[in-house]
A and B are shown apart, each in its own frame.
Chain A
Amino acid sequence: MSEERAWHPRRAGPFVANRVLLVLLAAALMGVVLLPFAAMAPNRLMSGQGVNVAVALLPWQWLSLAGLAMVLALCTLARPFPSRLARWLTLIIAPLWLLLALYGLGDYAFRTLQDASPAARVSQGAAFWILVFCPVLMIIDAFQRLGSGLAVRGFYTAALVAMVGALFASGIFDGLSIMQEYANNRDTFAAEFLTHLRLVGLALGPALLVGLPLGLLARRSPSARGPLFGVLNFFQTIPSIALFALLVAPLSALGEALPWLKALGVGGIGAAPAIIALIMYSLLPIVRNTYAGFAGVPATTIEAARGMGMTARQILWRVEVPLALPVILSGLRIVTVQAIGLTVVAALIGAGGLGSFIFQGLGQYAIDLVMLGAVPTIALAVVADFLLQILVSLSKPAGTR
């Protein structure tokens, strides 16, 4: 992993010390000046009129944004700050930028909607997204240069997420169009979110139960390996919507033929084909990583264990499994993120989940309803990835972390 590698600062010149930060800052400033920060529309189906950052934000807000940008600009230079200080300053200022952009957008929505028609909507513009993503990338860059451990990064991220969460809880965003969509769909949102998680969980459980032994089998019997990986790669290659759709016909036939299966909810449309397809997609990464994990255990280590008088079962559970665990968990990380994404598509065959907002929104040309499905899905995938990354790192034997 590149993040783990020690960073050797290389001066690009006597003047600029951090060209990455400089590029990010320049991109952010250019985007903010050229692109609309927010959009104001007469109702939820019309596309909005773009509003520039200087118009959308109060003077104190954009002046602070500009002031913080000046400090960030100084952080890119070799002087006046020593490099470590510049990185820590970036870690303080970048999140302030992010929070200010979030607060400014919510505040703008409140102020404009006070004297607008009740159907009017305020949504986020391209410059807003730039003001969110660039600080996040600046934070990543600063951590890479500092070479901070996972504990520091995890704690920092948790604090940042807590602050953004507090902003949400304060109700500052309630004027925004996406939050109005949320308010209109409050009950369905919670239900679809849980459905999404349930589909992922129902797929990952069986996939692990089947995949882990198959991975071990691939390790133990080389003749099974070729056909096994061939078949699993075949499933992995079929586009998600095609696999979902191809399962609809046989399952509806099965449901018609066996009424007790239909009573259990197995039918053409719904959760059953989605879960089966998700399991098929999850098998390849799990089996492959289980195989790779076991294959990576040094033969000398197993030899030593045998020499100590351990039985085959003891060697498996006390030597091989612990040593293979980080690689197996990386496989779990891949399939979890993948399953969260594929479940979006499952909404097309009536399985529910956050994808149903996306496709409803696309059908109605209501972009904020699309956002209500897409933004939480992306957040869910990124959070799951981060948490499992921590788990993988914790599972590595002490000293190799």
Chain B
Amino acid sequence: MRVAALKRPTSRDGLLASLSALLVLLVLFMEELAPLFQALFPELGNPVYRRESFLQLTLDHLLLVLVSSLISVSVGVGAGLFVTRRSGREFEPMVSSLAAIGQTFPPAAVLAIVVPLAGFGFVPTIVALTLYGLLPVVQNTIAGLGTVPPAALEAARGIGMTRGQILRRVELPMAMRVIIAGVRVSVIINIGTATIGSTVGAQSLGTPIIAGLVGNNIAYVIQGAVLVGLLAIVSDLIFERLERRFTFGD
């Protein structure tokens, strides 16, 4: 679990706004920084990565993460719900250990095994990201639903709520913060793994990084790394805000 924000919300929101603005500006106007990179690295012929626009790379990256995360979240929350209902409870220990063991597998190794088997490129990368992204979501859905106090369920049943109502009005709202924390871990891991996806044929913000490392062009490396780092931090701050919204009591 991540550490809850201890700072005042307002300063975090300011940070989020300014970093998002910086990210958008850099994505759109990286070209304009050519003189800066030229001054920093005078030996380079091409100080700014131009093969694809940074906007295109960022959109590709976001598409990889969004599609895989949407599938991970729907399947993961579904699986978590199934194993916490009466009919699926028998599967709960197995699903929990699968999620725990699966997360010890390095994401880069999973990507390297799954993608070549499925044939390189965009869709296989999505498959690998989805598989890996499932695990924290399942784990946190089970954990979140486990934090709902039995007394609350008892009370809901006592006032005559149906099982569906209990799930929608009691269990899910109370578990939401922990579930979102799981989605947050999953999305942040996927942003990082999608970067490595450029080694298996899926274009992303990792593409300039790898091109720079291979072609010994540090400016490309920095441009890709700064953008993907900012993207991850902005996403993390957005999720932190979301988590705060679903915090009850403490």
Contact status of A249 and B221, CB under 8 A, knowing A10-B89, A137-B94, A358-B112: yes
Q: B183 near A: Cβ within 8 Å?
A: no
Give Cα A12–Cα B88 distance, bound, in whole angstroms: 10
Q: B199 near A: Cβ within 8 Å?
A: yes
- Do B224 and A374 touch across chains, with their CB atoms under 8 A apart? no
Q: B96 near A: Cβ within 8 Å?
A: yes
Contact status of A359 and B199, CB under 8 A, knowing A239-B192, A249-B221: yes
Q: B29 near A: Cβ within 8 Å?
A: no
Stretch at the interface among A100-108, A158-166, A378-386: A378-386
Give Cα A246–Cα B222 distance, bound, in whole angstroms: 6
Q: B117 near A: Cβ within 8 Å?
A: yes
- Do A237 and B232 touch across chains, with their CB atoms under 8 A apart? yes
Give Cα A358–Cα B3 distance, bound, in whole angstroms: 34
Give Cα A349–Cα B214 distance, bound, in whole angstroms: 9
Instruction: For B90, list chain A residues within 8 Å (CB).
Output: 10, 12, 19-20
Give which listed residue, A238, A242, A367, A378, contacts B109 with CB less than 8 A: A378
- Do B108 and A248 touch across chains, with their CB atoms under 8 A apart? no
Q: A140 near B: Cβ within 8 Å?
A: yes
Q: A335 near B: Cβ within 8 Å?
A: no
Contact status of A345 and B196, CB under 8 A, knowing A242-B229, A246-B226: yes
Q: Mark B171-210, 1 if CB is under 8 A from A, else 0.
A: 0000000000000000010011001100110000010011
- Do A345 and B221 touch across chains, with their CB atoms under 8 A apart? no
Q: Mark B76-94, 1 if CB is under 8 A from A, else 0.
A: 0000000000000111111
- Do A344 and B109 touch across chains, with their CB atoms under 8 A apart? yes
- Do B188 and A381 touch across chains, with their CB atoms under 8 A apart? no
Number of A-B contacts (CB under 8 A): 146
When C-beta atoms are compared, the residue in chain B nearest to A385 turns out to be B104
Give the bracket for the number of chain A residues in contact with chain B.
Answer: 35 or more
Instruction: For A3, list chain B residues within 8 Å (CB).
Output: 93, 97
Instruction: For B104, list chain A residues within 8 Å (CB).
Output: 337, 381-382, 385
- Do B225 and A245 touch across chains, with their CB atoms under 8 A apart? yes
Instruction: For B3, list chain A residues within 8 Å (CB).
Output: 229, 233, 288
Give Cα A94–Cα B134 distance, bound, in whole angstroms: 27
Q: B248 near A: Cβ within 8 Å?
A: no
List, sorted by A's number, 6 A–B pairs whose CB atoms are closer than 8 Å.
Answer: A2-B97, A237-B233, A241-B195, A241-B228, A243-B225, A341-B106
Q: Knowing that A242-B232, A342-B106 are A-B contacts, what are 19 other residue pairs whose CB atoms are under 8 Å apart, sorted by A's residue number?
A: A10-B90, A20-B91, A20-B94, A226-B7, A237-B236, A241-B196, A241-B206, A241-B228, A242-B209, A245-B212, A245-B225, A246-B222, A248-B218, A341-B108, A345-B196, A348-B210, A367-B116, A375-B113, A385-B104
